[in-house]
């Protein structure tokens, strides 16, 4: 696997919700193994950007390619894309009536056709990797928010994705649980996972990101390495945003 070669490429992407222009001529290339953090004010289109990449949202114009192929619109190819692009949301989205291990093994068995015993073994290894192997037989409600979010990450990883999208994965967590989730994400980044991460955790952006993208009003306003972005944001919008989030 070559680091740097483009894995996710958006070219001139536009997306409207009715009259609202939520993605305005967005072009972006994310290389293999690259970690891109997306920041910006509420309503700037960050979630929509993530959702277009695994085609939870269709786009109105422009192109998106993943691993060299335009995103498929439907059918088996779309299911394959969804398994190759893992997504972790703010709300943990675990199946409440399945155990943590079942949550992790369901996709591999049903979608990827893995043998249950093999899926179980791999699932346990993934739960171990995110530090919750001892919670495997519990139900989501019995876990803390931080543990549930780590289970959600393990579940996405169980599909052996080529990239992971994180949409504010720590925003719903109590403050004391943010660190344990960021730690898992940092270790994934270090292991070479391609990641697009929407977050307000500027520490993570500084230390784990290769690039920071600042969005406002559906546009990519800045795209720079974190050290450069934080030391010298070029646009007034980014300066204003940073002054607000770094002072509270």
Ligand X SMILES: Nc1ncnc2c1ncn2[C@@H]1O[C@H](COP(=O)(O)OP(=O)(O)O)[C@@H](O)[C@H]1O
Q: Which residues pair with 34 in a beta bridge?
A: none
Stretch that binds ligand X, among 37-45, 153-161, 221-229, 237-245 (CB under 6 A): 37-45
| Residue 118 binding partner per list ligand X, Mg ion, none, with a CB distance cut-off of 5 to 8 Å that depends on partner kind | none
Q: Does 19 bind ligand X (CB under 6 A)?
A: no
Q: Does 42 bind ligand X (CB under 6 A)?
A: yes
Q: d(Cα 114, Cα 105) in Å, to the nearest integer?
A: 9
CB under 8 Å to 203, separation ≥6 — which residues?
182
Q: Does 47 bind Mg ion (CB under 5 A)?
A: yes
Tokens for 7, please give them. Answer: 């894995």
| Residue 22 binding partner per list Mg ion, ligand X, none, with a CB distance cut-off of 5 to 8 Å that depends on partner kind | ligand X
Give the number of other Cβ atoms within 10 Å of residue 248's Cβ: 4
Residue with tokens 């719903």: 172
Q: Does 169 bind ligand X (CB under 6 A)?
A: no
| Residue 20 binding partner per list Mg ion, ligand X, none, with a CB distance cut-off of 5 to 8 Å that depends on partner kind | ligand X
Angle between helices 145-157 and 175-190 (to 10 degrees): 20
Tokens for 10, please give them. Answer: 């958006």
Residue nearer to ligand X on the CB measure, 46 or 150: 46
Q: Does 45 bind ligand X (CB under 6 A)?
A: yes
Q: Does 245 bind ligand X (CB under 6 A)?
A: no
Nearest alpha carbon to residue 33 among 64, 2, 10, 9? 2
Phi, psi for 17 (deg, rounded to 5): -110, 100
Residue with tokens 């979010």: 149
Q: Does 20 bind ligand X (CB under 6 A)?
A: yes
Q: Does 17 bind ligand X (CB under 6 A)?
A: yes
What is the closest distance, in whole angstroms, from the C-beta atom of residue 222 to ligand X in the complex? 15
Which residues of this chain interact with ligand X, rule CB under 6 A?
A: 17, 20, 22, 40, 42-48
Which residues of this chain interact with Mg ion, rule CB under 5 A?
A: 46-47
């Amino acid at each position: 696997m070559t680091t740097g070669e483009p894995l996710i490429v958006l070219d001139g992407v536009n997306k409207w919700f009715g009259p609202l222009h939520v993605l305005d001529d967005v072009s972006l290339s994310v290389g293999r193994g690259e970690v891109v953090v997306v920041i910006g004010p509420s309503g700037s289109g960050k979630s929509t950007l993530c959702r277009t990449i695994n085609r939870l949202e269709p786009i109105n114009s422009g192109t998106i390619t993943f691993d060299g192929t335009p995103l498929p619109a439907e059918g088996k190819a779309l299911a394959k894309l969804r398994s190759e692009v893992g997504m972790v949301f703010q709300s943990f989205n675990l199946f409440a009536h399945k155990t943590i291990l079942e949550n992790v093994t369901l996709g591999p068995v049903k979608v990827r056709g893995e043998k249950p015993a093999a899926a179980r073994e791999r699932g346990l290894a993934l739960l171990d990797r995110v530090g919750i192997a001892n919670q495997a037989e519990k139900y989501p409600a019995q876990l803390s928010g931080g543990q549930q979010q780590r289970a959600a990450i393990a579940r996405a990883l169980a599909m052996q994705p080529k990239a992971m999208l994180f949409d504010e994965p720590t925003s719903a967590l109590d403050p004391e649980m943010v660190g344990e989730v960021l730690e898992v994400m940092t270790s994934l980044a270090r292991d070479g996972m391609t990641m697009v991460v929407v977050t307000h955790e500027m520490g993570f952006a500084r230390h784990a990101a290769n690039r920071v993208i600042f969005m406002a009003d559906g546009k990519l306003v800045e795209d720079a390495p974190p050290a450069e972005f934080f030391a010298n944001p070029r646009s007034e919008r980014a300066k204003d945003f940073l002054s607000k989030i770094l002072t509270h």
